[in-house]
Structure 1
Amino acid sequence: MAASRRYPLELRERVVRMYRTIEPKPQIKRLAVDLGVHPEALRTWIRQAEADAGERGDRLTTGEREELAALRRENVQLKRANEVLRTASAFSPRSSTRPGPGDGAP
């Protein structure tokens, strides 16, 4: 279940777009205070926008983050399925392709 967002997505996009178009670049803290958002929230949004635009190599893009989250969820499901199969196989009789005594073997 996703956490609720304190700031609407539209606000985030507008603020980041505003920051990226202003020249010279304002101080993030001052701009955040002027716009009524937390400075670290604005800093995070700007970094993510730069990563999505290919301007930063130290962060995953939004698409990569979503893919990673989906792969992690799938990994958890597969681990659960493997555990169920492992547990079920412990209770099932072992079958063999070799005939046992009394199976008509010479």
Structure 2
Amino acid sequence: MTRRRGQFSSEFKEEAVRMVLEGERTVASVARESGSPPHLGSWVNRRRIVHGEAERPVSGPERARVRELERENAELREKPASLKKRPPPPACSSRMPASTPTAVRTTPQRSSAAS
């Protein structure tokens, strides 16, 4: 048995999309209220693309948060660059300085007469 897809009139689609775009409501809340059309999000996105509409304007607190996150991103991008510019760490103190002669291990000499 095949399941028939829900058919929604163009008026219904336009009204649901308008409720999302013009109001302060989410796609999910409009979908619940209007009987849960499964493609409401797609309808809204298509309308935004076709009509060249941007996302809803960002409010004051959201704008401040965006600026704060952009600043943090800029700092994090600069961090690897500053790590690359650092001079190499000093030599480990357990190593002998280059001017100190190294010890030479001597091995006992065999005498050739003992063979």
Normalised by the size of structure 2, how large is the TM-score?
0.38
From the CA coordinates, give the structure whose radius of gyration is larger: 2
Higher relative helix content: 1
